[in-house]
Amino acid sequence: GGIRISVIGDSTKLPTSLQKLINEVEETTKHNSRLQLIVAVSYSGKYDVVQACRSIAEKAKDGQVELDDINESLIEQELETNCTEHPYPDLLIRTSGELRVSNFLLWQLAYTELFFAQELWPDFRKDEFVDALSSYQQRQRRYGGRH
């Protein structure tokens, strides 16, 4: 039971005391399985892809990875969202009338359905959420293929 808390993003920009607290919370909750809360702190999609590439380059330099081993699957294993068994959202709801993903989960959103709401986040309520879910239910998921 309980909630597992995971933090993604560049936590090196945070004060050391907060980095320590994040590590403690992640360690304390790592075996909880009822829900998982992923907190994005100083996170960007570009940062995530760059840190994955750096990690793979480091492994290649150390001889753990061969050039031919580098594929989509390997990159996905190095993305920070590998902390969850569900790294690819089915639906992204973007509030505040913004019509962009704003450098968020760039790799992971490849086949995600997008819903844009005019309401600001604090004003996004149950009715707006139901609208987003209804819109999603009416869509035909193709995952990059044609039908």
- Give me the pLDDT at residue 80, please: 97
Domains held by the chain: number = 3
Q: Could you tell me if 18 and 67 lie in one domain?
A: no
* Residue 58 and residue 38 share a domain: no
DSSP assignment string, 59-120: HHHTTSS-GGG-SHHHHHHHSGGGGSS--S-SEEEE-TT--S-TTSSTTTTTT-EEEE-SS-
Instruction: Please tell me the distance from the alpha carbon of residue 58 to that of residue 50, in angstroms, as a whole number.
Output: 12
Q: Are residues 31 and 69 in the same domain?
A: no
Q: How far apart are CA 84 and CA 6, in angstroms?
A: 9
Tokens 């999609």 locate to: 45
Which pLDDT score, from 0 to 100, does residue 143 have? 79
Give how far the C-alpha of residue 100 lies from the chain's centroid of Cα atoms, to the nearest Å.
16
Angstrom distance (rounded) from CA 93 to CA 26: 26
Task: Show the tokens assigned to 17.
Answer: 């005391």
* Whether residue 95 is found in the same domain as residue 126: yes
Length of the chain: 147
Same-domain check for residues 72 and 37: no
Q: Are 141 and 97 in the same domain?
A: yes
Same domain? For 101 and 62 the reply is no
Is residue 62 over pLDDT 80? yes
Q: Mark whether 5 and 31 lie in a shared domain.
A: yes
Mean pLDDT of 87-91: 94
Tell me the pLDDT tens digit for each residue of 8-51: 999 998 999 999 999 999 999 999 999 999 999 999 999 999 99
Q: What whole-number distance in Å separates Cα of residue 16 and Cα of residue 11?
A: 9
Instruction: Please check whether residues 7 and 35 belong to one and the same domain.
Output: yes
Together in a domain, 111 and 134: yes
Banded model confidence at residue 145, pLDDT cuts 50, 70, 90: confident
Question: 139 and 99 in one domain?
Answer: yes
Residue range(s) defining the domain that contains residue 140: 88-146
Whether residue 39 sits in one domain with residue 53? no
Q: What is the pLDDT of residues 33-42, one digit of tens each?
A: 999 999 999 9
* Angle of CA points 95, 115, 130, to nearest 5°: 85
